[in-house]
Amino acid sequence: MTPALILTADPDFVDLAQAECRQARPDAQFLDQLSPGVWTVALPTGFVALAEQWQGQPPIFVRHICPVQTTIPLSETARDVTMLERAVKRDFVELVGPELPFSVQTRIFTAAPYKPFDVNARLSDAIRTITGTPLDVRNPVQVLSVVAAAGTAYLGLSLAAHNLSDWAGGERRFARDEGQISRAEFKLLEALAVFKIELPPRGVALDLGAAPGGWTRVLRQRRQYVTAVDPADLHPSLQADANVRHKRVTAEAYLAEGPDTFDLIVNDMRLDARDSARLMVAYAPYLYPHGIALMTFKLPQEKRQQALDHAFNILRQAYKIAGARQLFHNRSEITVYLKHKT
Helix axes 304-315, 273-283, angle to 10 degrees: 10
Q: Is residue 325 a contact partner of residue 280, using CB atoms and an 8 Å limit?
A: no
CA–CA distance from 317 to each of 204, 277, 280, 289 (Å)? 24, 10, 10, 15
The count of residues in the chain is 342
Contacts of 57 (CB under 8 A, 6+ apart): none
Residue type present at position 278: R
- Are 193 and 214 in contact by the 8 Å Cβ rule? The answer is no
Q: What is the DSSP letter of 13?
A: G
Residue in 196, 298, 339, 341 annotated catalytic:
298
Residue 138 DSSP one-character state: S
Can 298 be counted among the known catalytic residues?
yes
Which residues touch 140 (CB under 8 Å, ≥6 apart)?
101, 102, 103, 160, 166
Q: What is the DSSP string of 157-226?
A: EEEGGGGSSSSGGG----PPPTT---THHHHHHHHHHHTT--PPTT-EEEEET-TT-HHHHHHHHTT-EE
- Alpha-carbon distances, residue 195 vs 151, 242, 261, 305, 327 (angstroms): 37, 29, 23, 22, 11
Distances (CA, A) of 203 to 214, 216, 293, 331, 338: 18, 13, 13, 29, 17
Tell me which residues are annotated as active site. 298
